[in-house]
Structure 1
Amino acid sequence: MSTSALRSRNDQILYPDSDGQPMSDNTVQFRWIVLIKEGLEFLFRDRPDVFVAGDLLGYAEEGNPKARTAPDVMVAFGRPKGDRGSYKQWEEGGIAPQVVFEILSPGNRVPEMMRKFRIYEDRGVEEYYIYNPDDGDLQGWIQKDGRLQEVPDPRGWISPRLGVRFEPGEGPESLKILHPDGTPFKTALEMQEDAQAERLRADAAEESARVERLRAERLAARLRELGESAD
């Protein structure tokens, strides 16, 4: 087949931006997807060459729209930030997402998860994490010799690519993900509450300084009335 004919055939192939599936099955899964995605966005906010996305459909092979997945969270180093309808690997310099997260829900099925695993492995995903918020179980795999090999113990595991540390706990939603400086990933609400608390502390400190300044001014005025030096 000629190159022009092949190009014409590929141009006719559709790569939908949606697979028709919901982003999440419940509020718990959604909360964790957003927490991880936004935490990573914040972590790499000063890196224009790191693309972070949530529930974005990704196509691994040009001409094969069935080779697709929609990871709950993905990170692609070496790719610019910006909006995309989908992530077509051949349009992204051949770069596959290096890190992928999946958050389990009751709707997940073993065959589908195995299909995703094989695609991620074949695409060259370097780190793959699955978290089940219902029981707190975290599993991780890292690429070695062309295969995703399981991390034996994810407790205290530091992601080679992300630099974040995982601290799984006991029980539902017990996972803590820590930034390289040791601070935990936080929800937008928690960050707003922290910012509000910081503003209140700053206002209180400013008011305390104002009161102290007025007290000093009154004392200096009283001393002048007594003919004493304010110094």
Structure 2
Amino acid sequence: MVQQLPTDTTPAIIYPDSDGQPMADNTKQFRWIVVIKENLELLFSNNPDVFVAGDLLWYPVEGDNKLRQAPDAMVVFGRPKGDRGSYKQWEENNIPPQVVFEILSPGNRLKAMAQKYKFYERYGVEEYYVYDPDEVDLIGWLRSGQELDVIEEMNGWVSPRLGIRFQLTSENLEISSPSGERFLSFVELAQLREQERQRAEQEHQRAEQEYQRAEQERQRADEALTQLEQEKQRYQALEALLRERGIDPNQ
């Protein structure tokens, strides 16, 4: 009689790449998500070990596909760049996102934001920023031990991890890179590139004009030199003719 070995019938756990929720509730929220995420990508574009993502599901615990969050933007130091359907922490050397951003919208509820705060605090986020573009209000938390402590003054605050600076005005939030360059929208970046292209074209035209002027000056100098050479040759021919006739041209 052949004895059958028991088989593992435990179904594989699926970790969905989408939670069915929209990325943003309105254009203002979406614009801020894109500006922050894309400028962070640009800031760390030369560092292969910094992963930046927007609206990507983060699963911190293997075996639990209900425990998850999708930060509007997140930054992970120590993980390579590349496309991912979701961020499964156990597949990423168990490194959690160190910095996360959330952009408030009318669809955000106080309970949901409190749940996100507790999630980020529990699973290792070091810096957590929430921006309300309607009220132009920025709140930040910084990890201290096992807790996220509120940052008392956000105006002028510099992120320890990112090195970026936050400046609040009465009308807007400005974020600048460590070199002082302001975070720009895609449209602003395109306009800046066009301005740089136009300046480069103008410089090229000025250089071309200078070259043409210099070439004209060289041609005039060559013509003057040719005339002098011709005068010299005529003078030498005249000297030779005078000597043939017995006349000393130097007297």
TM over 0.5: yes
Task: Give the Cα separation in 1 of the matches to 2:32 and 2:156.
Answer: 19
Q: Tell me the residue number matched to 2:90.
A: 90
CA RMSD in angstroms, aligned pairs only: 1.7
Distance 1:57 1:191 in 2: 28
From 159, 170, 188, give the equivalent of 1:190.
Answer: 188
2:173 is matched with 175
- Residue of structure 1 aligned with 2:209, choices 211, 216, 220: 211
The 2-side partners of 1:24 and 1:207 are apart by: 46
Task: Tell me the distance in 2 between the aligned counterparts of 1:170 and 1:65.
Answer: 42
Q: Distance in 2 between matches of 1:217 and 1:87?
A: 62
- 1:179 and 1:75 mapped to 2: Cα distance? 15
Report the identity percentage.
Answer: 54
TM-score (structure 2 length as normaliser):
0.84
Matches of residues 32-71 of structure 1 in structure 2 within 5 Å? 32-71=32-71
Matches within 5 A, 1:8-157: 9=10, 12-157=12-157
TM-score of the pair, normalised by structure 1: 0.91
Question: CA-to-partner distance for each residue in 1:41-60, whole Å, 9 max, x for gaps?
Answer: 00110111111000001112
**Cα distance in 2 for residues equivalent to 1:197 and 1:22:** 35
For 1:221 and 1:51, the matched residues in 2 are separated by: 59
Superimposed CA distance per residue, residues 133-156 of structure 1 (whole angstroms, 9 cap, x where no aligned partner)? 111100000000210000000011
Spell out, residue by residue over 1:111-136, the C-alpha distance to the aligned partner (whole angstroms, 9 max, x if none).
11111111100001000000001111
**Structure 1 residue 194 displacement after superposition:** 1.2
Q: Which runs of 4+ in 1 moved over 4 A?
A: none
Higher mean displacement: 179-188 or 190-199: 190-199
Amino acid at match of 1:202: A
CA displacement at 1:215 relative to structure 2: 1.5
Deviation at 1:218, TM superposition (A): 1.7
SS in 1 for 2:65: strand
Bigger Cα Rg: 2
Aligned position for 1:161: 161
CA distance in 1, matches of 2:184, 2:19: 29
- Count, aligned residues: 221
Q: Distance in 2 between matches of 1:175 and 1:47?
A: 26
Give the letter aligned to residue 184 of structure 2: K
